[in-house]
Structure 1
């Protein structure tokens, strides 16, 4: 008797070609992986940190050795221009190097003087951590979770986005080839229906999700129901404030990149451009000029600077957000054309707060431009969002802008630079953009037991 075996198929979004077909893990497969993770954790947590560093260096070597192949895989599965895929792979090694150099300091006991003979805080790993990751940075977002989490002594299970299943398996292979113990990092090929069962299993101690607000609410609900900690990095609607004294000639490339990088598919991209009226016309002219020079083409070509979105349905969603905004009075300056999964770079003006392109996350190359009368109005408009990942401000008076830091509720505040993630700095959001922090010391301590130790003679 034949049984139906569930599969996942991946496709190249640029040409629609079928890439691979993968068999979905059965319930028994998932149980075996959970048991394997639990067994591995018992020994992995005892491994000396110097040995973990050796494995991390091996991992960096494997990434460097396979950079071209891995970059091509990213580009084939989600359409990222190849130069950006290469930069993503390189950034993973920057991350590894950072934790090799700093993990000892981050994890060492924190001595606290009390009435005790000796008292301190120790940082012990929790166990098996489930990671649910998105497709837009298929290596970087996994590594920024996995490297600090495993280095702290935990083990990891990865549920990656199905359209980058090849990347998920390639990441697992990198850890194996680097010499990490079997079961230290495992990829699960499954659908979202299995997540609830995984969260209920006692082997899973915590969950990290990078994804949409909707997904975040569901995972937070499951984590709360099962009394497990969670870290949520969700959507964003970042404001890019252009004050009247901004040096556009110096920063316009950065400003355009802040919206169009990764074909606009980034939670921390600049999505709302809030421009003071004195500089508005100059800004529009320069922004459009740079945008029109973006080169669309096959993402495997090194001169391609913008490509298709990762799936055609994503382009369709973006198209609907734009059309609804137009009906509410928005005006298209350039763009607003869709060819399959490719959405032409688009600049829209006369944007108001009730429009989808102002209040929702737009995941693609659409720049919503809002003219304001003053600096004060600019900051108030920027804060008018249910999201809170980051705000960027362009001005010559950085000291004046610095006075706004405490007034902006977001997880990041960048002056004369685009919001970006950096291993040396904590990364995360507020409000509907989630909670918890990745990267830096905070990311390493995200999934540890901060244990109070109190000793008297």
Structure 2
């Protein structure tokens, strides 16, 4: 182990939870090698055998839900109910992958002149994941389970804030029957991570984080000719059209913005409301946000817990301050509370416009940006006026028209119509533009890190 250390800190109490040592370069290399060695056997297991282990991991997650949820809430300040729901989502991912994975990855026969043609989906080797803190279990599960189902080895460099959760997950995987060392958890620096990307035994890299970090990771991987999947956040737009059910839109957009303390890549963040509904929406939304009280995330009735760190809280407040200075109207919130814990109040900014951080950037916390559009067409234009393109939403009573807008005009990877959701195990998850590329979940995600191999067998020879 290295002499360098780091700590995890409870966002509610600001007390140190645990102190960890970074791995030495030699220790980190050994984790990679161990994963590769385990992979050499794991790749030969039948799809059904791999699926049975994946199913057992899902059961282990449910069996240990409360302990794991309490740990996540301690480390990152999530509401305890959200932590429990996160574990259930992770278990559902295991259920889906165990059930559908064998069929998705099965060999396919195709027509070929004079030959029997087969397409196989072979594992590629060790897949390295670099993950953020906002979903300590889900972020690691969503890429690792599909890669393990495909027969790969997996490495995890989790965010330092939730190191305990990453290591807990590694122990849980092995207790559920995953071969020892196949899923390797790393405690390494950014420089060590860059070195690891170039390691000969690492065959693919997946990362969730900021677009700035994504560019860095993609460059390092490209230099070593490694495939990447990147999910790089967004400032997701939810459009309220002229014919929207306004009560439904307000209620759903409040829930979509505040979910996970507002710290979710696919939170509803920008609310683009046509002129017809704008004033009523701002008034109703502001009143609901003003009633959201801060509290202890371990208490079941708390609606908004602390942010993960002081730096995250202070950075968000600076974005709010800059937006107001550039013309945004502060409807409610916007003041750092004088209390223990890294709290930020539920905050609403109206009259948001280009040139303000609330319009141009991702606000990763409980701050809503409300933008006025002239009409439905203008609302769609504004929604697409972003360097990001992860998710988004449309509120309209005409669902056929909303579906057409979602399919043909909304420049994002995912769209919700008259609802809000973060992820479904059987639906592809990912974005376009600066929100990254590649997909997780669904058949598309299961096949991201496989070698799609063509085999031709000559007939009669």
Please indicate the TM-score interval, normalised by the length of the shorter structure: over 0.9
CA distance in 2, matches of 1:66, 1:337: 38
The yes-or-no answer on 1:448 pairing with 2:446 is no
CA contact (8 A) 1:81 1:262 kept: yes
CA contact (8 A) 2:211 2:435 kept: yes
CA contact (8 A) 2:78 2:260 kept: yes
1:80 Cα deviation from its structure 2 partner: 0.4
CA distance in 2, matches of 1:303, 1:251: 23
CA distance in 2, matches of 1:4, 1:102: 42
The yes-or-no answer on 1:348 pairing with 2:346 is no
| Residue aligning to 1:373 | 374
1:248 Cα deviation from its structure 2 partner: 2.4
1:132 Cα deviation from its structure 2 partner: 0.2
Scaled by the length of structure 2, what TM-score is found? 0.97
Q: CA offsets, 1:54-107, max 9 Å, x none?
A: 212221221111111100011000000100010001111111111111011100
1:251 Cα deviation from its structure 2 partner: 4.1
Q: Which secondary structure does the structure 1 equivalent of 2:221 belong to?
A: helix
1:419 Cα deviation from its structure 2 partner: 4.5
Q: 1:439 aligns with which of 424, 438, 441?
A: 441
| Residue aligning to 2:361 | 360
CA contact (8 A) 2:51 2:102 kept: no
CA contact (8 A) 1:25 1:190 kept: yes
CA contact (8 A) 2:423 2:429 kept: yes
| Residue aligning to 1:393 | 394
| Residue aligning to 2:415 | 413
1:445 Cα deviation from its structure 2 partner: 0.5
| Residue aligning to 2:11 | 13
Q: Which secondary structure does the structure 2 equivalent of 1:288 belong to?
A: helix
| Residue aligning to 2:323 | 325
1:8 Cα deviation from its structure 2 partner: 1.8
Q: Which secondary structure does the structure 2 equivalent of 1:352 belong to?
A: coil
CA distance in 1, matches of 2:194, 2:367: 35
Q: Which secondary structure does the structure 2 equivalent of 1:13 belong to?
A: coil
CA distance in 2, matches of 1:431, 1:398: 26
CA distance in 1, matches of 2:234, 2:361: 8
Unaligned runs of 5+ in 1: none
CA distance in 2, matches of 1:413, 1:53: 30
The yes-or-no answer on 1:305 pairing with 2:307 is no
CA contact (8 A) 1:14 1:79 kept: yes
Q: Which secondary structure does the structure 1 equivalent of 2:206 belong to?
A: strand
CA distance in 2, matches of 1:442, 1:54: 21
Q: Which secondary structure does the structure 2 equivalent of 1:112 belong to?
A: strand
CA contact (8 A) 2:240 2:249 kept: no
Q: Which secondary structure does the structure 1 equivalent of 2:91 belong to?
A: helix
1:318 Cα deviation from its structure 2 partner: 0.6
Unaligned runs of 5+ in 2: none
CA contact (8 A) 1:391 1:419 kept: no
CA contact (8 A) 1:13 1:309 kept: yes
The correspondence of residues 136-175 of structure 1 with structure 2, limited to 5 A, is: 136-175=134-173
Scaled by the length of structure 1, what TM-score is found? 0.97
CA contact (8 A) 2:289 2:332 kept: no
Q: 2:428 aligns with which of 426, 429, 432?
A: 426
Q: Which secondary structure does the structure 2 equivalent of 1:15 belong to?
A: coil
1:49 Cα deviation from its structure 2 partner: 2.0
Q: 2:28 aligns with which of 27, 30, 37?
A: 30
Instruction: Please tell me the root mean square deviation across aligned C-alpha atoms, in Å.
Output: 1.2
CA distance in 2, matches of 1:452, 1:57: 29
